[in-house]
């Protein structure tokens, strides 16, 4: 959730740190800071509640006060998403002692005990954070050992929880040290120096060579060399992987926001992901194993994709499927064995709760399959099998093209399992896959072509306190994702309900002018959904109907209508969600919200 960047080399460090931190803003943050070694002033730390731009202003002010430019070639930077302690200047990272500056992503579970012990040893705490305990603990052991590696090893033996640390020792002005457990951290080698970072976009502008630090490994990063030390003491120079993303893929390319750009990329993401799944060994994996049940584990939007997977797999393949919220999976004591499959869906592959669920599934002997967008991520590496969604980098916090890619995988899995179980003939399966690869992307493009109409419709939401989404069948599942999109970027309260459940309580909340977005993409359920629409309409609701163009409702039933292109009804989620994403996007824009970085949210939730 927090963002980390570090650089040491021949170039000035501040531009590298600011560029890296700005590239990580999508992760969500409330404060930022940097620590660096100035050749004349020594170790300096600038941090503040607010945006990275405010740290730029602090640095410029410092240069004015000094009457010279900062001259620094080694430093670390951080964007903080508050967990322990409110957003404030003091709680911002880096946390510094007389000998150590440290940035941290993760949660230290035993920080209270560490603070108490370190206070007895004479350390004074200035912040409310768990991270300051780690900085002081490493400082304590460094004073004992005078060796950075020994100090870090001694400290992490006492720390319980998750962490990715970037560390500067003040008497080693060109070195960065790094270690991780349960939080991601990468090392990267460039032409003019070396880097550490929490995610690829931070270093994408400077290098395409990176190494994912393994748990418990400690890295020393100098301008010319990166060395990694394993727990037993053995050291090695890492072998680097090549980043496949282009710099342009992580840029807006003329769009006002990443979210709008990423909605426009959904047709390509669906086509590319379909090719990725069909070229994988997943069909052989399913042929080799007959599963009694499938369990899908995910969070947020990925969990909503899992619900589509459950619906389609049970419908086509007739295999029982359970869907779990990842943060609750371990506490439900799931019944798992060697004839069960656990599918873990995660855009980043670093979602902490999903990683914990994966490890529990493996402990209990279940087969595991990762559906991720990052090939070298923790979930991808630890699962038995992996399917890569080729959505490309998704920078906006609100997931759009990743969701479309994830449901693409879910559809292919359901079709392949149905074919293997004899419920679809090879011809029927191929026809469905062909439609997924050709007609679906074209239909999404048609919906995107209605964006001006949808933008005008968004004006209807500006002052409303609540919005309700309703639907039946697949539309009910889709309503949940549409509702999430609206609430997370517009800050409008929104709820999704099965259309038939409205009269069991929720209809009491419908008053004059309450917007109700009704999804009606299934012709067989159209009349029933229309009955529910009439129920809310007679109570004053303002109804927005989302349905195929061929289905003509009585104009008196709805106030507005978003028409969808003709398509196999099973594939309606692809087109309907594009419309709902655009509706949420334009509503957020008109309300003046920060579309790509909504308040309090993080792109990759790397803490439990």
Residue 606: per-residue pLDDT: 55
Q: How far is CA 495 from the centre of its chain?
A: 22
Q: Which residues are catalytic?
A: 2, 603
Distances (CA, A) of 85 to 125, 126, 130, 132: 13, 11, 8, 11
d(CA 131, CA 134): 5
Mean pLDDT of all residues in 577-597: 95
* pLDDT range class, residue 28, cuts 50, 70, 90: low
Task: Determine the Cα angle at 196 with ends 192 and 201, to 5°.
Answer: 90
For the whole prediction, is pTM greater than 0.85? no
Q: Do 378 and 438 fall into the same domain?
A: yes
Residue 6: per-residue pLDDT: 98
Residue % of the chain over a pLDDT of 90: 73
- Phi, then psi, of 486 in degrees rounded to 5: -65, -50
Give the CB-side neighbour count of residue 336, counting CA atoms within 13 A. 25
Distances (CA, A) of 386 to 46, 182, 272, 281, 363: 42, 19, 16, 9, 18
With respect to residue 600, please indicate whether it lies within any of the assigned structural domains. Answer: no
Give the CB-side neighbour count of residue 245, counting CA atoms within 13 A. 24
Categorise residue 349: left if φ over 0, alpha if ψ from -120 to 50, beta otherwise.
left
Instruction: List the beta strands (DSSP E) in 455-532.
Output: 466-471, 493-498, 515-519
Distances (CA, A) of 594 to 120, 328, 531: 45, 30, 37
Helix axis angle, 401-420 relative to 300-316, nearest 10°? 20
Residue % of the chain over a pLDDT of 70: 96
With respect to residue 596, please indicate whether it lies within any of the assigned structural domains. Answer: no
Residue 605: per-residue pLDDT: 61
Mean pLDDT of all residues in 282-297: 92
Residue 230: per-residue pLDDT: 92
Encode pLDDT of 48-89 as tens digits: 998 898 999 999 999 999 899 999 999 999 998 777 788 888
Residue 588: per-residue pLDDT: 96
Contact 202, 11 (CB under 8 A): no
Contact 74, 7 (CB under 8 A): yes
Q: Do 104 and 54 fall into the same domain?
A: yes
Q: Do 96 and 212 fall into the same domain?
A: yes
Residues ≥6 apart with Cβ < 8 Å to 56 = 18
Bridge partners (DSSP) listed for residue 49: 31
* pLDDT range class, residue 301, cuts 50, 70, 90: very high
Stretch (H or E) spanning 481: helix 474-490
With respect to residue 85, please indicate whether it lies within any of the assigned structural domains. Answer: yes
**DSSP code at position 249:** G
Q: Do 554 and 407 fall into the same domain?
A: no
Beta-carbon count within 10 A of 58 CB: 17
Structure tokens at 160: 């319980």
Contact 49, 232 (CB under 8 A): no
pLDDT: which is higher, 85 or 428: 428
Mean pLDDT of the chain: 92
With respect to residue 47, please indicate whether it lies within any of the assigned structural domains. Answer: yes
Give the residue from 496, 395, 425 showing the smallest Cα distance to 25.
Answer: 395
Q: Do 322 and 352 fall into the same domain?
A: yes
Instruction: Outline where 279-325 has alpha helix (H).
Output: 282-288, 300-316
Residue 227: is it exposed, middle or buried by C-beta count within 10 angstroms (0-12/13-18/19+)?
Answer: middle
> How many distinct structural domains can be found in the chain?
3
pLDDT: which is higher, 28 or 267: 267
Structure tokens at 509: 């909340």
Mean pLDDT of all residues in 175-185: 94
With respect to residue 461, please indicate whether it lies within any of the assigned structural domains. Answer: yes
**DSSP code at position 83:** S
Q: Do 475 and 413 fall into the same domain?
A: no
d(CA 298, CA 356): 11
Encode pLDDT of 526-567 as tens digits: 888 888 888 888 888 899 999 997 556 566 788 899 999 999
Residue 374: per-residue pLDDT: 87
Q: Do 307 and 273 fall into the same domain?
A: yes
With respect to residue 601, please indicate whether it lies within any of the assigned structural domains. Answer: no
Residue 607 has pLDDT above 60, yes or no: no
Encode pLDDT of 219-236 as tens digits: 999 999 999 999 877 899
Residue 158: is it exposed, middle or buried by C-beta count within 10 angstroms (0-12/13-18/19+)?
Answer: middle
Q: Specify the CATH number for the domain of residue 511.
A: 3.40.50.10490
Residue 591 has pLDDT above 90, yes or no: yes
Domain that holds residue 356: 258-447
Contact 383, 367 (CB under 8 A): no
Q: Do 285 and 158 fall into the same domain?
A: no
**DSSP code at position 179:** E
Handedness of CA 259, 261, 267, 273 (dihedral sign): negative
d(CA 43, CA 32): 17
Task: Determine the Cα angle at 310 with ends 430 and 337, to 5°.
Answer: 105
Domain end: 447, 476, 499, which one?
447
d(CA 441, CA 255): 20
B/e letters for 336-349, b = 16+ CB within 10 Å, e = fewer, are: beeebbbbbbbbbb
Q: Do 405 and 462 fall into the same domain?
A: no
Q: Do 479 and 569 fall into the same domain?
A: yes
With respect to residue 597, please indicate whether it lies within any of the assigned structural domains. Answer: no
Residue 449: per-residue pLDDT: 96
Categorise residue 597: left if φ over 0, alpha if ψ from -120 to 50, beta otherwise.
beta
Contact 593, 490 (CB under 8 A): yes
Q: Do 412 and 478 fall into the same domain?
A: no
Residue 603 has pLDDT above 80, yes or no: no
Q: Do 458 and 439 fall into the same domain?
A: no
With respect to residue 297, please indicate whether it lies within any of the assigned structural domains. Answer: yes
* pLDDT range class, residue 250, cuts 50, 70, 90: low
**DSSP code at position 108:** B
Give the residue from 404, 299, 274, 314 showing the smallest Cα distance to 351.
Answer: 299
Give the residue from 546, 551, 516 showing the smallest Cα distance to 534.
Answer: 516
Structure tokens at 274: 């379909």
Mean pLDDT of all residues in 94-119: 95
Residues ≥6 apart with Cβ < 8 Å to 584 = 398, 482, 485, 486, 489, 490
Residue 2: per-residue pLDDT: 80
Domain end: 200, 219, 243, which one?
243
Residue 32: per-residue pLDDT: 92
Q: Specify the CATH number for the domain of residue 52.
A: 3.60.20.10
């Amino acid at each position: 959730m927090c963002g980390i960047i570090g650089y040491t080399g021949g170039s000035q460090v501040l531009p590298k740190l600011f560029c890296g931190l700005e590239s990580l803003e999508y992760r969500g943050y409330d404060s930022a800071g940097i620590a660096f070694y100035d050749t004349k002033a020594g170790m300096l730390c600038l941090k503040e509640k607010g945006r990275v731009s405010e740290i730029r202003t602090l640095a410029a002010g410092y240069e004015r006060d000094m009457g010279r430019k900062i001259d620094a070639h080694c430093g670390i930077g951080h964007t903080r998403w508050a967990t322990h302690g409110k957003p404030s200047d003091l709680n911002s990272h880096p946390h510094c002692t007389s000998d150590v500056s440290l940035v941290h992503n993760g949660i230290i579970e035993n920080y209270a005990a560490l603070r108490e012990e370190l206070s007895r040893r004479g350390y004074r705490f200035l912040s409310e954070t768990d991270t300051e305990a780690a900085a002081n603990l490493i400082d304590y052991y460094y004073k004992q050992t005078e060796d950075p590696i020994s100090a870090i090893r001694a400290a992490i033996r006492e720390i319980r929880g998750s962490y990715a640390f970037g560390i500067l020792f003040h008497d080693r002005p060109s070195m960065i040290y790094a270690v991780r457990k349960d939080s991601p951290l990468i090392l990267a080698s460039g032409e003019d120096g070396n880097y550490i970072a929490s995610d690829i976009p931070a270093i994408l502008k400077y290098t395409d060579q990176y190494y994912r630090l393994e748990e418990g490994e400690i890295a020393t990063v100098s301008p010319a060399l990166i060395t990694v030390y394993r727990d037993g003491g053995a050291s090695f120079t890492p072998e680097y992987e090549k980043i496949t993303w282009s710099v342009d893929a992580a840029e807006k390319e003329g769009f006002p926001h990443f979210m709008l750009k990423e909605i426009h990329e959904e047709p390509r993401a669906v086509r590319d992901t379909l090719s990725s799944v069909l070229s994988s060994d997943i069909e052989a994996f399913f042929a080799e194993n007959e599963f009694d049940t499938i369990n899908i584990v995910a969070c947020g939007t990925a969990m909503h994709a899992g619900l589509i997977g459950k619906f389609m797999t049970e419908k086509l393949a007739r295999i029982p499927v359970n869907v779990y919220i990842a943060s609750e999976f371990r506490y439900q004591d799931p019944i798992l064995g060697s004839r069960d499959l656990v599918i873990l869906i995660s855009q980043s592959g670093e979602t902490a709760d999903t990683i914990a669920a994966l490890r529990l599934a493996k402990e209990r002997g279940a087969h595991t399959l990762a559906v991720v967008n990052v090939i070298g991520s923790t979930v991808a590496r630890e699962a038995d099998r992996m399917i890569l969604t080729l959505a490309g980098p998704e920078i906006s916090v609100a997931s759009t093209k990743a969701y479309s890619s994830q449901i693409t995988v879910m559809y292919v899995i359901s079709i392949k399992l149905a074919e293997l179980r004899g419920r679809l003939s090879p011809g029927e399966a191929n026809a469905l896959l062909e439609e997924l690869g050709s007609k679906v992307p074209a239909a999404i493009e048609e919906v995107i072509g209605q964006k001006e109409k949808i933008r005008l419709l968004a004006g209807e939401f500006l002052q409303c306190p609540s919005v309700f989404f309703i639907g039946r069948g697949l539309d009910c599942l889709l309503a949940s994702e549409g509702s999430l999109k609206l609430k997370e970027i517009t800050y409008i309260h929104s709820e999704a309900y099965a259309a038939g459940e409205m009269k069991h309580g929720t209809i009491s909340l419908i008053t004059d002018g309450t917007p109700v977005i009704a999804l009606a993409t299934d012709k067989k359920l159209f009349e029933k959904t229309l009955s529910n629409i009439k129920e809310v309409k007679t109570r004053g609701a303002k109804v927005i109907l989302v349905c195929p163009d061929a289905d003509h409702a009585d104009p008196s039933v709805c106030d507005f209508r978003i028409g969808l292109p003709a398509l196999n009804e099973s594939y309606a989620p692809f087109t309907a969600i594009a419309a709902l994403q655009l509706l949420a996007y334009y509503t957020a824009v008109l309300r003046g919200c920060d579309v790509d970085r909504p308040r309090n949210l993080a792109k990759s939730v790397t803490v439990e």
